[in-house]
Amino acid sequence: MKNRKLALAGLLGAGLLVAACGTSGSDSTAAAPGGQGFTPPKLDALAQLGQPEGQVNVLAWPGYAENGSNDPAVDWVTGFEKETGCKVNVKAFGTSDEAVSLMKTGQYDVISASGDASLRLIASGDVEPVNTALVPNYADVFDFLKNRPWNSVNNVAYGVPHGWGANLLTWRTDKVTPAPTSWSVMFDANSPYKGKISAYDSPIYIADAALYLQTHKPELGIKNPYALDDKQFQAAVELLKQQRPMVGEYWSDYLKESQALKSGDAVVGTAWQVTVNLTKSEGAPVESVLPSEGATGWSDTWMVSAKSPHKTCSYKWLNHIVSPKANAQVAEYFGESPSNPKACAETKEKAHCDTYHAGDAAYAAKIQYWTTPIAQCLDGRTDVKCKDYGEWTRAWTEIKG
Amino acid sequence: MTTTLESPRRKASAFLYRKPRLRLGLLLSAPALWLGLAYLGALAALFVTAFWHTDVFTGQVVTEWSLDNFAMLFSDAVYRTITFRTVGIAALVTVITAVLAFPMAFYMAKFASPRARRLLVIAVMTPLWASYLVKAYAWRSMLSGNGVLHWLLNPFGLDTPGYGVLATVITLSYLWLPYMILPIYAGLERLPNSLVDASGDLGARPFRTFRSVVLPVTFPAVVAGSIFTFSLSLGDYIAVKIVGGTSQMLGNVVYDNIGAANNLPFAATVATVPVVIMLAYLAAVRRTGALDNL
């Protein structure tokens, strides 16, 4: 065990050396991500733009950087290339973990990171602070998305907020009455929808159980569903184990879930807004709600690699991707809420921003955005150790049995 | 004729003719390289990785020897459960495919006319030309609560099994059936008709002939087919993801540890389990002569 700690310290130390600085992190194991009490490697943001370097390597979620090769009608890259002279090379990733390991190669200039990846990137020194003054469209971005724990550290912005959405409580209106307003229909042992429940298939789903316990078992003292100490974690795992026999199916592919809802194999579950829209458009009577307990969700951030040799093009890309037009195109193509209010006037579907509650800060505040659970409690507690993502993954295997 | 007049090609072939060992070496170097580097090398790399671990903070693999992964694999009850479930599913799939395949192969090899036989072989192979995913998803909609099975069974007071272990067994049995039919068919084709006739002439009834003549002779072929169905089921994770409901198999644990947890070493540890099971299985069936039938 001691060797392992030493190795960890060595790796962290190497990371700090790369950053060429001597921060307070002499005890390097303390340098862990987290909004509070967390010292990232000292890196400087770009001071001013230079000449465009001719290209930018983009690491993106599928659907975030479309150049018309998938669908000629969907293209917000070609125009950018013509305008700035920066050729865009896109690499799509499938999971946040894949994104984190790809960023370590140093071959990518910008990345669209979800909250469960962004802190890891900041902590390991793979991404650097962003000088938001050099991103004119940043000023338009909704204030409630700026300087949040997953895209900033100590009020220093590490990227540009891009889009967000919630994992909603979704049900078949013809099979589930009355309309549910609480996650109880999915977690209560006496739920009448036993066997027809659809839950998200990922370790991060443990946070959904923790969020439920936050309201229903206040004595556990859960403040942040991503910062769970041993007792809180066990309670969430127990809840999910109790839920398991009631679950008809776990989903990770939203099309598979949509199909289950359509056929009636699932009548209640957690789903994305895009799933609800898709299922509705195919004629199935489904509705969704942000339940009384709140919900988990995602908020993505475009970040700049610390090793990028194409900084000017990177900043131009950041500015472009949150510009009203491009932001609207991505939000509509992907099915999420845009981060730029001006995007709402640019969407093809006029109701898009209403459907996705863009700009609804009260709505957004009820969402607990995905964040990587780490040993240092994200809610600021220092007297206990929290469960890290590795343990979440192991527990998830155990829950599914 | 002097050597200077010979073409280089002839010179080379003459040289190789005189050096049989070199000839053999050159012939085998490509497959040996493939087997040694790409195949066994990858397996060895897998096995070595299983002893490392991942740094939870940076997500990087730490190349430091430890048995922690194996300790977890054995101490955690859940991995035992998953292993037993996987082996159970694989065994059940093997038995079901063998039972379904034998009569089919028997008819093809012994009764069908040469023309019908060709058509049947093609019919057995046709599913192999369609995508695995399409077939698995087709089963997903057939097994659905309002799918074809529900519609067919409902009049008899039965219902579709829904998604779960049984659905996985059904889907995998469908997927691997051709891999069982073809070896058995090949085995039965080698069974001389005169043996069956002789058994009949000696007074054996059909069942007795089957039990004492046909089955012993074709058993190695059945085992050969079982190696395919068993090992393919053991490593599967897609079918169970599509029709398995909430259940998971060893493949899913491997997949989740790579995809979600970024924990390659533990994934490698779990991946050694089917390898070990298969080695044990192969050792057990070696004596039946099945390996000569592959």
Instruction: Please tell me the pTM assigned to this model.
Output: 0.77
Question: Could you tell me the CA-to-CA distances from B186 to A380, B99, B190, B212 in Å, in that order?
Answer: 68, 16, 7, 19
Please check whether residue B145 touches A, CB under 8 A. Answer: yes
B21-38 pLDDT, tens digit per residue, is 888 888 888 888 888 888
Nearest CA among A118, A158, A162, A159 for reference residue A141:
A162
> Do A153 and A188 fall into the same domain?
no
The verdict on a CB contact (< 8 Å) between A396 and B256 is: yes
Tell me the chain A residues in contact with residue B58 when contact means C-beta distances shorter than 8 Å.
Answer: 11-12, 15, 120, 124
Task: Output the six-digit token pair for B29.
Answer: 């170097």
What's residue A7's pLDDT? 44
Tell me the chain B residues in contact with residue A400 when contact means C-beta distances shorter than 8 Å.
Answer: 246-248
Nearest CA among A339, A348, A344 for reference residue A369:
A339
User: 1.10.3720.10, 2.30.130.10, 3.40.50.720, 2.60.120.10: which CATH number matches B67-288?
Assistant: 1.10.3720.10
> Do A148 and A226 fall into the same domain?
no
The DSSP line for A102-143 is HHTTT--SEEEE-HHHHHHHHHTTSEE---GGG-GGGGGS-G
What's residue B120's pLDDT? 94
Please check whether residue B257 touches A, CB under 8 A. Answer: yes
Vertex A270: Cα angle to A391 and A337 (nearest 5) = 100
Label residue A38 by pLDDT band (50, 70, 90).
low
Decide if pLDDT at B250 tops 70. yes
Nearest CA in chain B to A5: B55
d(CA A9, CA A222): 30
- Return the exposure string of B130-151: e unless at least 16 CB atoms fall within 10 Å of the residue's CB, then b: eeeeebbbbbbebbbbebebbe
What's residue B290's pLDDT? 65
In angstroms, the separation between the Cα of residue B177 and the nearest Cα of chain A is 26
- Tell me the count of A-B CB pairs closer than 8 A: 108
Length of chain A: 401
> Do A160 and A213 fall into the same domain?
no
* 3-state SS, residue A301: strand
In angstroms, the separation between the Cα of residue A321 and the nearest Cα of chain B is 27
Vertex A335: Cα angle to A334 and A338 (nearest 5) = 95
What's residue B57's pLDDT? 59
A218: left (phi over 0), alpha (psi -120 to 50) or beta: alpha
Label residue A33 by pLDDT band (50, 70, 90).
very low
Nearest CA in chain B to A250: B246
In angstroms, the separation between the Cα of residue A398 and the nearest Cα of chain B is 6
**Mean pLDDT across A317-325:** 95
Alpha helix stretches (DSSP H) within A296-360: 311-321, 324-334, 352-355
Nearest CA in chain B to A96: B260
> Do A184 and A255 fall into the same domain?
yes
Please, what is the average pLDDT of chain A? 86
B91-131 pLDDT, tens digit per residue, is 999 999 999 999 999 999 988 999 999 999 999 999 888 99
The verdict on a CB contact (< 8 Å) between A393 and B263 is: yes
What's residue A254's pLDDT? 81
A165-212 pLDDT, tens digit per residue, is 889 999 999 999 899 999 999 999 999 999 999 999 888 899 999 999
Domain assignment of residue A170, given as a range: 166-296+378-400
Q: Confirm whether A268 is domain-assigned.
A: yes
d(CA A191, CA B165): 23
> Do A242 and A321 fall into the same domain?
no
Distance of alpha carbon A260 from the chain centroid:
25
**Mean pLDDT across B196-220:** 89
Alpha helix stretches (DSSP H) within B107-192: 114-129, 132-143, 148-153, 165-189
Nearest CA in chain B to A31: B57
Decide if pLDDT at A357 tops 80. yes
CB A142 within 8 A of CB A363: no
Whether ipTM tops 0.85, in short, is no
The verdict on a CB contact (< 8 Å) between B260 and A101 is: no
Q: Between A3 and A164, whose confidence is greater?
A: A164
Decide if pLDDT at A354 tops 80. yes
Please, what is the average pLDDT of chain B? 88
Chain A interface residues (partner B, CB cutoff 8 A): 3-4, 7-8, 11-12, 15, 32, 94-95, 97-98, 100-101, 104, 120, 123-124, 195, 202-203, 244, 247-250, 256, 259, 263-265, 374-375, 388-390, 393-394, 396-398, 400-401
Tell me the chain A residues in contact with residue B60 when contact means C-beta distances shorter than 8 Å.
Answer: 11, 104
Peptide bond into A178 cis (omega under 30): yes
Task: Output the six-digit token pair for A254.
Answer: 């939203």
Domain count, chain A: 2
* 3-state SS, residue B124: helix
Give the domain ranges of chain B: 8-50, 67-288
B55 residue type, one letter = D
The verdict on a CB contact (< 8 Å) between A15 and B253 is: no
Residue A139: which CATH number? 3.40.190.10
> Do A391 and A248 fall into the same domain?
yes
User: To the nearest 5 percent, what fractions of chain A are helix, strand and coil?
Assistant: 40, 15, 45
The verdict on a CB contact (< 8 Å) between B59 and A396 is: no
